[in-house]
Structure 1
C-alpha cells in the first residue's frame, strides 16, 4: 500500500489546501470585495454625502429600534416557553416544542402576510367572524411596533433554543439539595437556575437582535407601504433606483449593518464575561418543577400562545387564499380555489419560481454536503494552527445579515469574470454561490457534531489495514455520519427553498425564487395569490420538519433543535 498521500494524522495532503480554497472562495473573497468597494468609495468622499442623508439615520434608528424591541419580545416569549417546557411537568412537550419552532422555519415574508391577514379592517378572517374593525381604520402592523412584534415572534425560538441548552446543563443534584433544604421553587429558580442559565439567555438575546438587524422580509412587507425603512430595505430601495454611486452606497450601508451586528455580538461577549460557570454534578437532565394545580393553567397559557403566534395567523392566511379578493368576507358561497389554480396552473412566474427554488435548494444542499463532509473531517481530525481561523471564516457569512452577502456577490460579479469573460450576474448561478456562502455553516454544524461522536479508532484501524482515504470515507465514515448528512440536507433545503433576504438583490427576470415571488405578488396587490403561494410553502415546511422529526432518534444530539 502506497502511503505518500497520507500525513501523520491520516488526512490526505490535498485536504488542507482544498478546505482553505473553499473557505476563501465562499467567505474571504466576497467579504474582501465588499470591504474594498466601501474603502474606495469612502476615499472618494462619497461617505460624506451618504452620512449627510437624513434617510440613512432614520433607517439606522428604525433598524436599532425594531431590532431592540423585537429582541425584548423574543426574550419574553422564548424564555417563557423554555422555562415551562424544560423545567416543568408540562404534558405534550414534544408537540408544543415542534409547533413553537415553526415560526422560525416559516419565511419571514409569509409570517408578515399571515399576520396582515389576521389584523386590520380588510382581514378576511375577521370579517368572516364579524370582528373586523371599521373600514378606513389603519392597519396596526404598518408601524415600528408592528415590525418589532413580528420580529419578536419570528426570533423567539432562537432565544428558546439558546436558553434551553443552558437549562439542560443545570446540575440536577445541586437543585435537589436546595429543595431538600427547604428552598421554595421560586427561590430555586431565582437564586440557582436563572443565574446559571443567564449565559444562554444573553446569547439568545444577542442572536435575536442580530437576526432582527438583518431581517428583510418583515420590514419590507410591513415597513415599505408606510415609508418606514430599515437599513436592509434602504439598500433594496437604493439598488432599485440605480445611480452612479449605487455600488459605493450599498457597500457602505452593508458595512453599517455588519458593524451593528458585530457590536451586538461584542456586547454579548462583554455581558458573558465573568459568567463562564463550571458546573459540578450531574447534568443533562433538567430539573422538574411539579406545578400541581397550576399545571392546567400553565398548559392553557402555552397553547394560547401557540394559537396566537401560529394557528390564528395561518388560519387567516388560508382564509385569505380562499377569498375571491382581498377584503371580501369568506363564506361557503364566496370560497374559491381560484388563487391555487392561478398559482399552480396559469401563472408562469410561479412555476418558474418553484423550479428555481427547488433547483437552488437541492443543488445547495447536495453540493454543500460534499464540501462540509470534507471540511468537518478536516476540522475535527486535523491539527492545523489555522483551525480556529477557518472555523471563524465559515461562521462569519452565516452570522452576517443575508442582504450583506447578496451585496458582496453583486459587487463580485457585477462585471464579467476577468480572463473568462463570463457574466454570472442576472443568472441563477450567482444566487447559488451566495447560498453556498450563507448556508455553509448550517450544513457544517450537523456534520461536525457527527464526526465528534464516533471513535476515530475505527478509521485508524482501516487505515492501518491498507484502506485509502476514499475507501475509508465510503465504507466507514459515511455510514456513521449518514443520519447527520440527511439532517444537513433537509435543513439546508428547508432554509434555502424559502429564502428571500439573499435573493432579493440578486434575482432578475426568469430567476425569481419563491420568496421573491411572494413579496412581488403582495407588492403588486395580489394578496390572494401571495397567500395561496404562502400556504403551499408552509405545507412544504411542515412536511420537511416532520421528516427531520422521523430522523430525530438517529441523529446526533442537538441536530434537530426542537427535540429534548
Structure 2
C-alpha cells in the first residue's frame, strides 16, 4: 500500500499571523530584561523604604523593649509606664483628645448638615473657610487663638471682653487645649460627613416629606442615622490627629502646666538628651498604640457598620434659609478668620503691650524678623527641605504606583503598608525613631546624621511620601493598562514605559501631591522641634521659640509671613487641579 504524504495546511501570511498572535513580535530577550528591570526597581524601592522608614521604626521598638537595670525583661517599659509623669501625661492626652473630639464632632456635623442640606448661594466660599483651621499650621492657629483671648487682644480689648491685665490666658488650660484642637480638627469630621451627605438619595428625603415629616425630624431621625458611620469615622480621625498634636499642647499646655505625651517626650529629650531614649521610646509607643487602635476602629466602622444606600439621584437642596445662612457666616468667620485677624493685628504692633489703633500700626516687627539672620535662615531651610522632600517623593511615588497598579507582588503590598505608617502615627514617634536610628555613626561612612540637615530630610521623606503616593496611585487606577502592555510587546524598556506612557497620565496628580508636600513641610513643627540643631532652624521652630521666649509680636509676624506663603501655595494647588486652559 503506497504511503500517502500528510496534507500540509497552507501557511498563513505573516500579516495574518501577526494579527492572530501578536506575541510573535516580542523580542527574544524582552521578558527576561523586563523582569530583571522590575526586580531591580522593586529592590531599590525596598532599600529606600527600609532606610527611611523601616529601620527607624525598628530601632524605636527595640529601644522600648530593652530589659531593666536589674535585667528584668521589658523592665524599662514597665518602669516607664508605671511612672507618675507618664500616667499624668497619658491622662492629659486622653482627656484633651476626647474633649477636642467632642468639639470637632458637634461643630463639624452641624456645619456639614447646614452646608449640604440647605440651598446656599455661597456654599463654595463657606466650605473653603471651614477648611482653613485644617489648612493653617497648628502652631499658627494656636498662636492666633492666644492673641485673640489674651489680655492685650486687639479685638476683645476694645469691646471690653478681654481678660484683665496680668491675668492668665484662659486658653492655658485643659479646656483651652481641647477647644483649639477641636476647632482645628473640626474639618476632618466635616469632610467625612459632607461626603456621606452628598451621596444621600433624593428619593429618601422626598418620601419623608410626602409623609409630612418635619425637616428637623428628617435630619435627626432619618439622615443622621444614615451618616452616623461617617460621623464615627471622622471622629476617630480627629482623635488620631489630637493625640499626635504637638503645636497646640506646646503653646497652650506648657505655660498652663498641662502635660500630654507629645510635650513630655519633647521635655524629656531636651532635658536628658539621648540618655532618655528608652523611656521616650516607650512613651512614643503609647502614642502609636492609641493611633493604631483608632485606625482599626475606623476601618471597622467604614467596612462593617456603613449603611448601604440605594442607588438614585443625589439629594439637591431646594430650601433656602437666608437667616441660617447669615448665622452660618458669623460662626464660620469666628472660627476661621477672627483668630487670624487678631494674629495679624498683633504683628502690626510696634511692641508688646501697645494698644492697636490707627496711630500704632507699624511694620517694625516684619522688618525686625526679616532683618534677623536666624529667621531668614529658617525660611530658607524650610523651603529647601520642602522642595527636596517634594522632588524625591515624586521620584519614588511614580515608579511605586506604576508597579503597584500592574502587579500583585506581596512585597509591594508590604511596602504600601510600611509607607503609610509614618503618616498615620504621630510625628513625635517618627522623630524619635530617626534619633535612635541615626544617632550613632553609620556603617561604612562612619558619620552620624544626628544634628545635620540630612536627618531632617530623611524624616520629612518618611512622613510625607504618602501625600504624593495617594494621588498618584488614585490616578494610576484610571490608566489604561493596554497602553503599557502594547509598549511592552513592541520592546519598549521599563524606563521608557514609565517616562513616556505612565508619567504623562499621572503628572497632574504627582504635581498636586508635591505642592501639598511643600505646603505641609514648610510649616512642619513636630519633627523639626526634636531634630533641629543650631543653624538648622525651620519656620515652625522659630514661631515656637519666639513665642516661648516672650516675643509674641515677633512670633506673630513670622506666623503671618508663613501663612502668606501657605495661601499662595493654596492658589497654586487649585490651579494645578483645574483643567488646562480653564
Q: Which category describes the TM-score, using the shorter chain as reference length?
A: over 0.9
Match of 1:78 in 2: 108
Q: Does structure 1 residue 440 correspond to structure 2 residue 465?
A: yes
Matches within 5 A, 1:268-279: 268-271=298-301, 274-279=304-309
| CA deviation after TM superposition for structure 1 residue 11, in Å | 7.8
| CA deviation after TM superposition for structure 1 residue 269, in Å | 4.2
Q: Partners of 1:478 and 1:223 in 2: how far apart?
A: 46
Conservation of the 8 A alpha-carbon contact between 2:269 and 2:280: yes
Q: Does structure 1 residue 368 correspond to structure 2 residue 393?
A: yes
Q: Does structure 1 residue 23 correspond to structure 2 residue 53?
A: no
| CA deviation after TM superposition for structure 1 residue 16, in Å | 2.6
Larger Rg computed on CA atoms: 2
Q: Does structure 1 residue 222 correspond to structure 2 residue 252?
A: yes
C-alpha spacing 1:551/1:87, structure 2 compared with 1 (3 Å): farther
Conservation of the 8 A alpha-carbon contact between 1:117 and 1:125: no
Q: Deviations over 1:56-98 (max 9, x none)?
A: 1111111001101111111112112222222321121111111
Q: Does structure 1 residue 209 correspond to structure 2 residue 209?
A: no
Q: Partners of 2:538 and 2:511 in 1: how far apart?
A: 24
C-alpha spacing 1:244/1:133, structure 2 compared with 1 (3 Å): closer
The answer to which of 372-381 and 270-279 deviates more is 270-279
Q: Deviations over 1:453-485 (max 9, x none)?
A: 222222223333333222222222222112111
C-alpha spacing 1:161/1:252, structure 2 compared with 1 (3 Å): same
Q: Partners of 1:39 and 1:423 in 2: how far apart?
A: 24
Equivalent in 307, 315, 325 of residue 341 of structure 2: 315
User: How many residue pairs end up in the alignment?
Assistant: 549
Q: Deviations over 1:489-544 (max 9, x none)?
A: 11000000110011110000000110001000000111111000000111111111
SS in 2 for 1:134: coil
SS in 1 for 2:237: helix
| CA deviation after TM superposition for structure 1 residue 243, in Å | 5.8
Is there any run of 5+ residues in structure 1 with no aligned partner, and where? 556-564
Match of 1:96 in 2: 126
Match of 1:291 in 2: 319
Normalization by structure 1: what TM-score? 0.92
Conservation of the 8 A alpha-carbon contact between 2:233 and 2:301: no
Equivalent in 391, 394, 398 of residue 423 of structure 2: 398
Match of 2:352 in 1: 326
Conservation of the 8 A alpha-carbon contact between 2:230 and 2:302: no
Q: Partners of 2:65 and 2:543 in 1: how far apart?
A: 35
| CA deviation after TM superposition for structure 1 residue 415, in Å | 1.1
| CA deviation after TM superposition for structure 1 residue 553, in Å | 3.0
| CA deviation after TM superposition for structure 1 residue 41, in Å | 4.8
Equivalent in 524, 534, 555 of residue 559 of structure 2: 534
Match of 1:193 in 2: 223
| CA deviation after TM superposition for structure 1 residue 179, in Å | 4.0
Conservation of the 8 A alpha-carbon contact between 2:345 and 2:356: yes
Q: Deviations over 1:223-245 (max 9, x none)?
A: 10111111000001001111674
| CA deviation after TM superposition for structure 1 residue 343, in Å | 1.1
C-alpha spacing 1:279/1:132, structure 2 compared with 1 (3 Å): closer
Conservation of the 8 A alpha-carbon contact between 1:373 and 1:447: yes
The answer to which of 162-171 and 230-239 deviates more is 162-171
Q: Does structure 1 residue 378 correspond to structure 2 residue 408?
A: no
Equivalent in 270, 290, 305 of residue 260 of structure 1: 290
Q: Does structure 1 residue 153 correspond to structure 2 residue 178?
A: no
Matches within 5 A, 1:510-525: 510-525=535-550
Match of 1:559 in 2: none
Equivalent in 484, 500, 510 of residue 525 of structure 2: 500
Over aligned residues, Cα RMSD in angstroms?
2.2
| CA deviation after TM superposition for structure 1 residue 419, in Å | 2.5
SS in 2 for 1:90: coil
Conservation of the 8 A alpha-carbon contact between 1:219 and 1:230: yes
Conservation of the 8 A alpha-carbon contact between 1:372 and 1:440: yes
Match of 1:549 in 2: 574
Q: Deviations over 1:340-363 (max 9, x none)?
A: 00111x211101101100000000
Q: Partners of 2:95 and 2:187 in 1: how far apart?
A: 20
